[in-house]
A = this chain, B = another copy of it.
Amino acid sequence: MAKRRGQDAAETDRRMRAAALRLFARHGYAAVSMRRIAAEVGVQAGALYTHTPDKQTLLFSLMADHLHELLDAVGALPADATPEARLDRFVDFHIRFHLARPDAVFIAYMELRNLAPDNFRAIEGLRRDYEAWPEAILRDGAAAGAFAVPDPKIAAVGLIAMLNGVTTWYREGGRLSLDDVVAIHQRMARGAVGAGGA
């Protein structure tokens, strides 16, 4: 019952999305043609339109899938007793999750300007949903007197920005191990929010 090569819809769809993710991240949405994605998949350009209505929807779908995966994952984090432990776990999670998906991260933060207005609003909403998680950690920690954070919203965005910086330079096998990088950023994060026991 094996399907003929290149005729399995699910498989072609998977390959199209993988190729688009890689190429959009590497060269930018506007610079990548449907022909080039098709060549990577091993089909002609017209065949892609069986799997996506158009290029714009393909971009949106890649970004939305990434953010839904991120939201599912952050929502599944185990509970922690102390604000410091919650913060440490978030830093650990955020760095590892994003380093494991460099292409999706790049696209989700860099191709916002290439989204149609409706799609843009949808993605921005998902991003704000994610930012609410660290914001809650900081707000709760401040309320409990564990953190000194004058503005939890800004601190949360600043924290995420700092952690995202890692994706621009970290390479496996470099000077620092992933554990080192996480530990360094947990320390900086605790300091930035004025955690006493840092």
A198 within 8 A of B: yes
Q: Do B30 and A28 touch across chains, with their CB atoms under 8 A apart?
A: yes
- Which of B30, B169, B188 interacts with A30 by CB under 8 Å? B30
Asked whether A39 is an interface residue with its Cβ less than 8 Å from the other chain, the reply is: no
A198 / chain B contacts, CB cutoff of 8 Å: 191, 194
**How large, as a class, is the contact surface on chain A?**
35 or more
Give the distance in Å from the alpha carbon of A198 to the alpha carbon of B196 in the complex.
12
**CB neighbours of A150 from chain B (8 A):** 184, 187
- Is A5 positioned at the interface, with any CB of B under 8 Å from its CB? no
Chain B residue at smallest Cβ distance from A185: B158
Task: For A176, list chain B residues within 8 Å (CB).
Answer: 151, 154
Q: Which of B28, B158, B160 contacts A114 (CB 8 A)?
A: B28
In the complex, are the beta carbons of B165 and A158 less than 8 A apart? yes
Let me know if A158 and B151 touch, CB within 8 A: no
Partner of A113, one of B27, B151, B194: B27
B158, A188: Cβ atoms under 8 Å? yes
Within 8 A of B (CB), among A167-198: 168-169, 176, 181, 184-185, 187-189, 191-194, 198
| Contact residues of A between 138 and 180, Cβ < 8 Å to B | 150-151, 154-155, 157-162, 164-166, 168-169, 176
Q: Contacts of A193 on B, CB cut-off 8 Å?
A: 188, 191
Contacts of A189 in B (CB 8 A): 192
Which residues of A come within 8 Å of B, CB atoms? Answer: 26-31, 110, 113-114, 150-151, 154-155, 157-162, 164-166, 168-169, 176, 181, 184-185, 187-189, 191-194, 198
New A-B pairs, 10, CB < 8 Å, besides A26-B113, A191-B194: A28-B30, A28-B114, A29-B31, A31-B114, A154-B176, A155-B188, A157-B168, A161-B161, A188-B192, A189-B192
